[in-house]
């Protein structure tokens, strides 16, 4: 309820006749109240991060949307959206205002979430996904096919990510979804499991010692292939292995670190090294490389794949449609 009261105090009155004039701060020039229309335009600007696309989404001219942004900047004494090499980025104040605006809109238009429908066939929305190269290879083709069939006007950007900085990207609205595995997601992120999976070890089919099973001694004796940046809380398998081994108590050594997981099986096939990877990666690689999958000599947490999104987008009808589409696609991909 506190958030609701704060939101009402921040954005209401919309007209002076509704609740009386807001007290003016000494020495500050009067500002006109924020209207409901301006709030909706602000929401579109924050979600699209592009004046032209926000205008197209609202069905208004670019000049009208630019004027709305200028008015919002004066109203809140903040640039709100800053132009960078990566496009327009919302300020910290803009993100906080967006959170409150969403609550205010739901309070002022109780039926908007039920009445406002998303027409996928007519939409020109731009969605952005952060994920790993391996998951992009798995999911990008069926996602593209689904969008061409059901929402041909929607634009999609899939950006590579090693899962570092993904929380900040979601909070800053730099992406709509992250697909991967975050060991300890913060409370302001929503999560949905879309692809359960397990991990296995892979070795060369001509390995001099390891055949149908691997012992802890062998696991520790041979060097390992790992991928991506240095170990972080977002690098789930490497972190899980280290924790299962007791970190310093049973350290495992890596001989080579490669840019992404798709390179790992080829390195394993050419050496006597070991790697711990998702079982789906091992099975796909075994079709073209001389490698074999074996069970790890200890239990590690399953590197299940989930999609994550920020609370700010949770009730957006377009976002809901897109999340449901991703869930349907992932279910079809994992079906035998």
Q: Which residues of the chain are in CATH 1.10.10.10 domains?
A: 2-115
With cut-offs at 50, 70 and 90, classify the pLDDT of residue 109. low
According to DSSP, residue 274 is labeled B
**Superfamily of 121-196+304-334 according to CATH:** Periplasmic binding protein-like II (3.40.190.10)
Q: Quote the percentage of the chain above a pLDDT of 70.
A: 82
Q: What is the pLDDT of residue 199?
A: 94
Q: Which residues of the chain are in CATH 3.40.190.10 domains?
A: 121-196+304-334, 199-294
The predicted model gives 259-288 an average pLDDT of: 95
Helix (H) or strand (E) holding 48: helix 36-48
Mean pLDDT across the chain, nearest whole number? 82
* C-alpha distance from residue 97 to each of 170, 236, 247, 272, 314 (Å): 16, 34, 43, 55, 16
Distance CA 79, CA 169 (A): 19
Q: What is the pLDDT of residue 16?
A: 34
Which residues of the chain form beta strands (DSSP E)?
81-84, 87-90, 126-131, 155-160, 177-180, 189-195, 199-204, 224-227, 254-258, 275-278, 291-294, 305-310
Structure-block tokens of residue 162: 């090693």
With cut-offs at 50, 70 and 90, classify the pLDDT of residue 36. confident
Structure-block tokens of residue 285: 């690689």
* C-alpha distance from residue 256 to each of 1, 272, 275, 296 (Å): 53, 12, 10, 20
- Domain with residues 2-115, CATH architecture: Orthogonal Bundle (1.10)
Query: Smallest Cα–Cα separation from 308: which of 197, 168, 199, 114?
Result: 168
The answer to whether the bond into 13 is cis (omega within 30° of 0) is: yes
- Domain with residues 199-294, CATH architecture: 3-Layer(aba) Sandwich (3.40)
The model's pLDDT over 186-220, given as tens digits with 9 standing for 90+, comes to: 888 999 999 999 999 999 999 999 988 999 999 99
With cut-offs at 50, 70 and 90, classify the pLDDT of residue 221. very high
Q: What is the pLDDT of residue 97?
A: 85
């Amino acid at each position: 309820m506190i958030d609701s009261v704060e939101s009402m105090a921040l954005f209401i009155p919309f007209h002076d006749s509704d609740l009386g004039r807001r007290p003016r701060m000494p020495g500050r020039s009067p500002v006109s109240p924020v209207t409901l229309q301006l709030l909706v335009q602000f929401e579109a600007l924050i979600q699209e991060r592009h004046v032209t696309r926000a205008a197209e989404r609202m069905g208004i001219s670019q000049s009208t949307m630019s004027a709305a942004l200028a008015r919002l900047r004066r109203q809140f004494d903040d640039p709100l959206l800053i132009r960078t090499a990566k496009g327009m980025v919302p300020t910290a104040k803009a993100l906080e205002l967006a959170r409150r605006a969403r609550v205010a809109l739901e309070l002022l238009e109780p039926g908007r979430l039920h009445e406002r429908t998303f027409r996928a066939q007519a939409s020109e929305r731009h969605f952005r996904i952060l994920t790993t190269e391996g998951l992009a290879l798995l999911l990008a083709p069926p996602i593209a096919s689904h969008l061409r069939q059901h929402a041909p006007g929607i634009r999609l950007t899939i950006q590579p990510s090693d899962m570092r900085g993904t929380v900040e990207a979601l909070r800053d609205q730099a992406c709509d979804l992250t697909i991967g595995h975050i060991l300890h997601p913060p409370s302001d992120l929503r999560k949905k499991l879309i692809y359960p999976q397990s991990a296995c070890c892979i070795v060369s089919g001509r390995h001099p010692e390891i055949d149908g099973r691997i012992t802890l001694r062998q696991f520790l004796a041979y060097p390992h292939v790992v991928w991506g940046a240095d170990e972080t809380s977002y690098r789930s398998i490497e972190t899980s292995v280290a924790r299962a081994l007791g970190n310093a108590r049973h350290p495992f050594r890596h001989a080579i670190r490669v840019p992404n997981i798709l390179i790992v099986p080829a390195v394993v096939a050419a050496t006597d090294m070991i790697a711990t990877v998702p079982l789906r990666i091992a099975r796909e690689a075994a079709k073209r490389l001389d490698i074999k999958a074996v069970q790890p000599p200890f239990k590690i947490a399953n590197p299940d794949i989930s999609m994550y999104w920020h609370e700010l987008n949770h009730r957006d009808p377009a976002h809901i449609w897109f999340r449901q589409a991703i869930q349907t696609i992932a279910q079809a991909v994992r079906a035998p």
